[in-house]
Structures are given as C-alpha cells and as structure tokens.
A and B are shown apart, each in its own frame.
Chain A
Amino acid sequence: MKGNNTMQKGETSNGVEGMTVIVKTIASWVKVLIFLFGINIVLFGHLTPGGGFAGGVILASSYVLLMLAFGRKFAEKNLSLPLTSKLDCFGAFLFALIAILGFAFGGVFFVNYLVKYSMPLRLISAGTIPLSNIAIGLKVGASLFLVILSLSIFRLDASNKEKE
C-alpha cells in the first residue's frame, strides 16, 4: 500500500487495504483482548452484569476492528460471509433448541430443566442460563458482523464507480 495521491475530497484510503503500520500493529494485539473480554461477559452472564446481548456486540466489535485496520479482504479471508451467516443461524437454532428441550424434559416450554443438577454461585450453575447466554452471544455477534460486512461490500460513492 504505497502513497495514494489520487484521492478526491472525502475519499478514504482505507477501503480495501487497511490502515497504516502503527494501527495494524496495535490492532493485532488489542483485538485478542477485546475478543477475550467479550467471551468473559458472555460466559459469566449469570454472575456479573452483561449477558448474551452485550457480550455478543463486543465479540462483533473485535471483528469490526480487524476489518477496519486490515481491510475488508483480510477480514473476509479470516471469517467469510457464508460462514458468518451459518454461525448466526446456528446460534438462533441453538437457542430455540434449548427452549424445545425444556418442553421435552420438563413438561413446560422453556423451563429451566438443568437447575437441579447445579450448585449456585459457581461458573457452571443456574441450569440453562449460561447455555442460553452462549447461544445468544454467538447469534448477536455473528449478526452484527454480517451486517457490517455486507454494508462494506456494498458501498457506493457519489460517482457510482467503485464498490468500496
């Protein structure tokens, strides 16, 4: 990515190639921390504030950082568009499966049928609540990254020439 001297007013240089070396170095360290923090918020959703929705958005934002710093093509090689949509559908299906299994095991739709096997205030406790949090976190994260990736593929400027 050499110096691009043919930029018009308002056009950016970070369409496909990504940003400068400083941003790339820092982003490659920070995105792992953000991803780990998102997993922490999702997994401990029944003990600390957070839960599936906020944790899923944090997971998506780590991939958005990857896409902004390294360019869209690099992020697509890392987590392609069909795989993201499959993860999204899998998360939604897992959440519905937990609800239906509540009907199968407990007699009532969406009952918490695993709570009698656990002791409270541990990581593995509270029955189906951590499993639901994982499913929702996966679904929300994949959904938001899917939307941002699709918006980035389809982005026209005023002259309608290029696609980034």
Chain B
Amino acid sequence: MSVFYILLVFSVVAAIIAVETKNLLSSIICVGAIGVGNSIMFLFLKAPDIAITQIVVEVLGLIILIRATISRDLTFITGEREFFGTVVSVVVIFIIFLAGIKVFETLPAFGTPIFVKLPEVAAQTYIAKGLAETGAANIVAAVILDYRGYDTLGEATVLFTSIIGATVILRKKAKKLLDATDE
C-alpha cells in the first residue's frame, strides 16, 4: 500500500515542477514523469492493459511535444501569471477535490467484487462466460472486441476522422512550402 503513496507524491511533485519551472524542456519532461508514475500505479493496481497504453502514448506524446518545442527560438516561458485566473483555478480544483473525497468514501475496498448483490447484471455474465463464449483468455479484449465491439467501432471512427482532419489541414501548408522550396 505504501508504494501508492510514494508514486502519488512523485506525481504531485512532478506536476508542481512542471507548472512552476521556466524552462520549456524541463516542463515537458516533468509531464512525462507524471505519465510514468501513473503507469506504474496502474501496474500495481492490476490493470496491465491500461499500463501498457499509458506508457506508450506518454512516450509518443512526449516525442511530439519535444519536437514541437526544441525548434523554437524561445525555450523559456516569459510573461507573468495572472493573479485572478490562478486564484479561480485553485479554488475550483479544491472544490472538486473535496467532492472527490466525499465520493471515494462510499466506494468498497479494493479487490472486493461490487456486483455480487446483482447476479444477473451484464458484468457477471462477461466474467462467468467470457472464456467459454469467445475463447479469449484476455477478458478485456473479449469485452471491447466481442461483447461491446460497436463501441470500439465508434472509437476507431473518431480516431480516423481526427487524423484525417489534422492531415488535411497540414497538407495544404506542406504542399505550399514544398513547392516554394523546390523552385
């Protein structure tokens, strides 16, 4: 249990450094450290699918961010921070934190099954008959690709559409730049 507190303190310290530092590169690396801390926490909470996805997307996002910032001339954050904006954000986050504490008090202990009072609910069917009906040992893959495959189709469509939108916007400028430098 104490490993969670260590990782939590690590993530919080990395987040504070990411906000407070003036060097852009250090800020990005601290964002990456938050992602690594979260991924290890997922691993200890027995969710390996989420841990794999978190660490891989974190690394790729970090690469994109670093490429986007190193090529700028200005690698230091200048300008002051607004006082009113900061106060409002801190107050809102604190209220949400208090509400979160109230919600987390009602959750059962970690590891206890929460649907035993309702044996006919869908989650019990997935766990009981998942291997026999689909033949997949990974229940997460069986749920997202067989029982709830329609949701995965929607998610794949969203990813596809956003990539098409980004590429269309970037290709116009890229074509213009490529033509300009090839002349």
| Residues in A lying within 8 Å of B, measured CB to CB | 8-12, 15, 41, 45-54, 57-58, 60-61, 64, 68, 85, 88, 92, 95-96, 99, 109-110, 112, 115, 118-121, 125-129, 132-133, 136, 139-140, 143-144, 146-148, 150-155, 157-159, 162-163
Per DSSP, are chain B's interface residues mostly helix, strand or loop, or mixed? helix
What's the minimum C-beta distance from A79 to chain B, rounded to whole angstroms? 15
Q: How large is the interface on B (under 10, 10 to 19, 20 to 34, 35 or more residues)?
A: 35 or more
Residues A85 and B167 in contact, CB atoms below 8 Å apart: yes
B75 within 8 Å of A (CB atoms): yes
Partner of A129, one of B51, B142, B181: B142
Residues B156 and A95 in contact, CB atoms below 8 Å apart: yes
Q: Which residues of B contact A58 (CB under 8 A)?
A: 56
B171 within 8 Å of A (CB atoms): yes
Q: Which residues of A contact B145 (CB under 8 A)?
A: 46, 51-52, 128-129, 132-133
Q: Which residues of A contact B72 (CB under 8 A)?
A: 10, 157-158
B173 within 8 Å of A (CB atoms): yes
Residues A47 and B138 in contact, CB atoms below 8 Å apart: yes
The CA of A51 and the CA of B163, in the complex, are separated in Å by 20
B105 within 8 Å of A (CB atoms): no
Residues B136 and A144 in contact, CB atoms below 8 Å apart: no
Q: Please judge, given known A-B contacts A11-B71, A57-B53, A92-B156, whether A150 and B170 are in contact too, CB under 8 Å.
A: yes
The CA of A148 and the CA of B61, in the complex, are separated in Å by 10
The CA of A150 and the CA of B144, in the complex, are separated in Å by 31
Q: Please judge, given known A-B contacts A51-B49, A129-B145, whether A115 and B134 are in contact too, CB under 8 Å.
A: yes
What's the minimum C-beta distance from A34 to chain B, rounded to whole angstroms? 11
A sample of 28 cross-chain residue pairs with beta-carbon separation below 8 angstroms, ordered by A number, consists of A10-B74, A11-B73, A46-B137, A46-B142, A47-B138, A50-B49, A52-B145, A54-B49, A57-B57, A61-B60, A68-B63, A88-B163, A95-B156, A120-B131, A121-B135, A126-B134, A126-B136, A126-B146, A127-B135, A129-B136, A129-B141, A129-B146, A147-B163, A151-B170, A155-B67, A157-B71, A163-B177, A163-B178
Q: Please judge, given known A-B contacts A51-B49, A115-B133, A121-B137, whether A147 and B166 are in contact too, CB under 8 Å.
A: yes
Residues A118 and B135 in contact, CB atoms below 8 Å apart: yes
Residues A95 and B153 in contact, CB atoms below 8 Å apart: yes
B150 within 8 Å of A (CB atoms): yes
Q: Which residues of A contact B127 (CB under 8 A)?
A: none
In the complex, the chain A residue whose C-beta lies closest to that of B181 is A163
Residues B160 and A8 in contact, CB atoms below 8 Å apart: no
The CA of A157 and the CA of B140, in the complex, are separated in Å by 44
B159 within 8 Å of A (CB atoms): yes
Residues A49 and B138 in contact, CB atoms below 8 Å apart: yes
Q: Please judge, given known A-B contacts A49-B138, A129-B146, whether A153 and B133 are in contact too, CB under 8 Å.
A: no
Residues B171 and A150 in contact, CB atoms below 8 Å apart: yes
Residues B135 and A119 in contact, CB atoms below 8 Å apart: yes
Q: Please judge, given known A-B contacts A121-B137, A129-B136, whether A143 and B163 are in contact too, CB under 8 Å.
A: yes
What's the minimum C-beta distance from B141 to chain A, rounded to whole angstroms? 5
Residues B134 and A129 in contact, CB atoms below 8 Å apart: yes
In the complex, the chain A residue whose C-beta lies closest to that of B133 is A115
Q: Which of B70, B75, B146, B150 has the most CB of A within 10 A?
A: B146
Residues A12 and B60 in contact, CB atoms below 8 Å apart: no
The CA of A28 and the CA of B148, in the complex, are separated in Å by 40
